[in-house]
Amino acid sequence: MRLLPALLFSVFFSAVSLYAEAPIEAAKPDLAHLTDSWPTYNGDYSGRRFSPLKKINTATVKQLSLAWSFRVETNTAGGRRISATPLEVDGVLYFTVPSHVWAVDARTGHKLWQFDWASKGGESIGNRGAAVLGNTVYFETEDCNLVAIDRETGKEKWHVSIGNPDQFYFGSVAPVIVKNHVMVGVSGDDFDIPGYIEAHDPETGALQWRWYTHPNPGDPEAKTWPNDEAMLHGGGMTWVAGTYDPELNLYYFGTGNAQPVINGRARPGANLYTSTICALNPDTGKLVWYFQPNPHDTHDWDAVQTPVLIDGIVDGHKRKLLAQASRNGWYFLLDRTNGKNLLSTPFAKQNWTLGVDAKGSPIPNPAKMAQLNGALVAPNQAGAANWYPPSFSPETGLFYVPAYDAYSVYYIYDNNKKPEGWAGNDRGGWSRASLRAIDYKTGKVRWNHQWPSPGGRSGILTTAGNLLFTGDTTSNLVAFNATNGEILWHAGLTGIVSNGPITYELDGLQYVVAAAGDTLYAFALR
């Protein structure tokens, strides 16, 4: 904690008292109203990252000032960059970096407890956050364990393995609570290993089911691979938390790129279910439908970007929709009851397709796959979008995404008949960074704010105050008019905004919280 204004000093002590008296065993996230809480990775299950709060609005946003900041301190491995979206439950923020979890007073930034995990390996590129159910906090470790922590004391309750770090699986995904299931994904694409998603019992950690991101041998979709060996080692990691429709009881998530990475010559075909949007029954782990945004991925583009759930009207009819701005530069709108494609259209520069097929999936152009002498392709490997959370405002009807227009040259450097792991890569090229607002029905860009230079990306928050909060490509947290893209306010931080901002209201005061590097910053009206 670096700054604690006197005005909040008394609030701090009352907050600690309230926390101590709260019936913590009965506490459960309220997913219906994002006012005094932000209880799961995307706020609610929809993935919209839209808050109904509006005390901070287009008229008052210029009065925002720093309420507090909190810098993480660690003495063990794991890194310090906060890419996690904090959860706010009962006046407490819970957030992570690899191997570490914090509980911080949401009013003051005062640390309540810190949990340190002694990792035995894995990869520490980032950790997207935690999940909370009742009196338990859940998070994944980089050496692939799911850990349950007592919410009041910060002490471990139990942990279970969710993958083998010796095979280069690692944990970075924010778990999601769906009924009595703790949904977890896995990361890693250095070895030719299959991706999967799991559900665990929230009380004991026992595995309820695991679903691999490939067809079973003999399934019709298995014909999208040359043979079972390639299919069973074909990748498809589940890097990003999914979304959920309680009425349909369907859990939606995207899968990662096919392996070997970049060089797809030894795996001809669409390579299902890699780079695919999937809908699973969370009680059984059975696949209900799928749509593939990126068949035969040879650019490491994945399809893990958040599948955002929108209830809208298309062609005069109410529809349950799913929208994704994919890393490959295409925007997709689906009927989320059955996965039927309603719209496929580019939202950023792309030159890698020959059009779309009858199901709405782009058709890869063989000339734009990686070559020994290189192929100039848009987008670059970092993608037109990436894991940074988008947002959808039901009040503007706009889907907001941190968008890159970029070209690079893709090379193959493992030209064996049976390449393994990373068999190519991309290098160099031109790029341009923007914040883009897209009409969710048509995919047309309504407004675009081009940043002065390329650089880092940040997640997005929208509110009923007609505001959009995100980071620029240098070190500012910026507030836009969500309707027309006008910049209304900004604050300089110590680094690029490294997560998705959140907002919540406590004691009549609305806060906006974002991370930059190793520090959380909270802003409130003064």
Residue pair 241/175 in contact (Cβ under 8 Å)? The answer is yes
- The number of CA neighbours under 13 Å toward the Cβ of 374 is 10
Q: Which of 105, 245, 300, 426 is catalytic?
A: 300
Q: Which helix (H) or strand (E) holds 18?
A: helix 6-21
CA distances from 166 to 191, 211, 432 (A): 10, 21, 38
Kindly state the tokens that stand for 138.
């859940």
Whether 439 is a known active-site residue: answer: no
Instruction: Report the side by side order of strands in the sheet with 341-346.
Output: 308-314, 317-325, 330-335, 341-346
Instruction: Give the per-residue SS3 of 374-411.
Output: CEEECCCCCCCCCCCCCEEECCCCEEEEEEEEECEEEE
Strands in 213-272 per DSSP E: 243-245, 250-254
Total residues belonging to the chain? 526
Residue 341 to residue 328: CA distance in whole angstroms: 17
Residue pair 124/78 in contact (Cβ under 8 Å)? The answer is yes
Q: Which helix (H) or strand (E) holds 22?
A: none
Four-point Cα dihedral 384, 385, 386, 388, nearest 10: 150
- The number of CA neighbours under 13 Å toward the Cβ of 380 is 17
Amino acid, res. 211: W
Residue positions annotated with a catalytic role:
300
